[in-house]
Structure 1
Amino acid sequence: MFAYVEILIRTVLAILLLLFIAKILGKQTISNMTFHDFVTGITLGAIAANLAFNEKLSLSHMILSLIVIAITSYLLSVIALKSRKMRNWISGSPTVLIESGKILEDNMRKVRYTLDSLDQALREKGIFNIEEVDYAVLEDNGEVSVLKKDEYQYVTKKDLKLHSNAQVFPIELIMDGKMMEKNLENNGLTKEWLEQEVKRKGKQISDVFYAARGTKKQLVFDFYEDGIHQTIDKE
């Protein structure tokens, strides 16, 4: 029985430590998987797994390993911020794959990137014809950034000389039937105003699953009872 309790405690401790370390290392660790982040993630995962389930290894030794890895990773991040040369070594650097519409075979060979991988990356960007591409860059997180040739780029409002309407950041007003009072206060809105808007829909605040003010200051409501009698369910 004690063994099960120990595993339970070690597992919870491993998760809490990983959450704490991820908080310290920052969001980049989970958003941009560079060489540094990839190695850090795998190492932390392996140590945390052993901390949770390997009873033969000392709990204190595993915690020490996690702390050392976290500190080392943090210091590498600081060094990468201070030195561009070290940053290229720690996190990697972008590689140009296509320049002026020409595929750079030597660069692709250096990073062992195949034409099949390039075609797939372009398709994921909605590009099925490689002649549309002016520049393509393999970023240090493995993503491919693409600049299309002028004739294949999308037309913008600026190109058409149209005046763009001012947009604002969307605001969540109600979630799970509860007012987001902090959001209302920070944006100069009142509870009375929101209640009045909900009443216009013939509803109460408790009937609203989600409500937000959109980028054009329009109100969007989603109610618990949507009036959909039969939903589409793909099996």
Structure 2
Amino acid sequence: MAEWVEIAVRTLVAVVALFLMTKILGKRQISQLSFFEYITGITIGNLAAFVSLDLESNWYLGLVSMLVWVSISLGIEFLQLKSKRARDFIDSKASVLIEDGKILEDNLKKERLTSDELLSKLRKRSVFRAADVEFAVMEANGEINVLVKKEHQPITPYHLGIKVGPEQVPQAVIMDGQMMEEPLAVIGLNPKWLRTQLEKLGVPIENVFLGQVDSYGQLYVDLYDDKIQVPAPQEKASLLALLKKCEADIEMFCLSTDTKPAKQMYAACSERMTQVIADVKPYLTQ
């Protein structure tokens, strides 16, 4: 067998073996690595190169070594799952770098982190003043997580005491000008409904790059032609307006009748409608 053919075959075997072993080790190996995972990744890569290019040695010995490394790495991962002491020893503990706006210099020295590096990492978290930080923690993988003080946190509906309806993942029903029937069926809609919505917008499906339907049945489209402005969906706003109109009509009926039982009935209906509007408003105004 020619050397170039043997190298090609060995490389193919190494790539397949490396892919399978990475799949076995799981997603942690391709995310933020711990110390041991970093060493494992480098070593297995070197062994894969050995299998590919070292023609003077038996190639299967490299695969055996790769299998041993993978087995050791799996064993350590299972040990970390079972024991917190093992996790703390192998990955080390998280370190608090800032507490109540005060930088802990001793912990910075322990992590070999300069003040410039700390400020740089804070800026990546959109924090430009260390005094605004309640806690800044360096995790075992080297990432720094930041909790700013309450007075510097953005206001949310929770802070204002407003109840907001839940939001589900939108379904992509149009991609590259093609209708996606399966996502439509998942949310209980059909192609006829989609064509009707596109007719309302005055947009042909061929001109739609991406179309998504949210959990409230509203269609949002992005067109190939960016110069065309598509109006935002108004279904939720229209429904809220219709409910308020019904409430106003009931109150009008209540005021216009002179019959006491009818007036009481309209008053009760108006109260129930007011409660219905209060209940559904968080879902229709987000």
TM-score, normalization by structure 2: 0.69
Aligned equivalents of 1:9 and 1:179: distance in 2?
A: 43
| 1:220 maps to 2:220 | yes
Matched residue, 1:172: 172
Change (3 A) 1:26 1:194: farther
Tell me by how many angstroms 1:202 deviates: 3.9
Instruction: Name the one with the larger helix percent.
Output: 2
Any idea what SS the aligned residue of 2:12 has?
helix
Aligned equivalents of 1:59 and 1:13: distance in 2?
A: 10
Matched residue, 1:89: 89
The answer to which structure, 1 or 2, has the higher relative contact order (CA under 8 A, 6+ apart) is 1
One-letter code aligned to 1:142: G
CA-to-aligned-CA distance 1:35-76 (integer Å, 9 cap, x gap): 232222222222222223333342211211222211211111
Matched residue, 1:39: 39
Any idea what SS the aligned residue of 1:55 has?
coil
Aligned Cα RMSD in Å? 2.5
Percent identity between matched residues is: 37
Aligned equivalents of 1:216 and 1:36: distance in 2?
A: 47
Any idea what SS the aligned residue of 1:172 has?
strand
Tell me by how many angstroms 1:197 deviates: 4.0
Tell me by how many angstroms 1:155 deviates: 1.2
Change (3 A) 1:208 1:124: same
Matched residue, 2:247: none
Aligned equivalents of 1:93 and 1:113: distance in 2?
A: 16
Matched residue, 1:128: 128
Q: Which has the larger radius of gyration?
A: 2
CA-to-aligned-CA distance 1:117-151 (integer Å, 9 cap, x gap): 11110011111111111111001111101111122
> Relative to structure 2, which stretch is displaced further, 126-135 or 49-58?
49-58
Matched residue, 2:262: none
Matched residue, 1:203: 204
Aligned equivalents of 1:203 and 1:196: distance in 2?
A: 11
Any idea what SS the aligned residue of 2:72 has?
helix
One-letter code aligned to 2:204: K
Change (3 A) 1:35 1:186: farther
Tell me by how many angstroms 1:199 deviates: 5.5
One-letter code aligned to 1:6: E
**What is the number of equivalent residue pairs in this alignment?**
226
Q: Note if contact 1:94-1:137 (Cα within 8 Å) is conserved in structure 2.
A: yes
Aligned equivalents of 1:190 and 1:173: distance in 2?
A: 10
TM-score, normalization by structure 1: 0.82
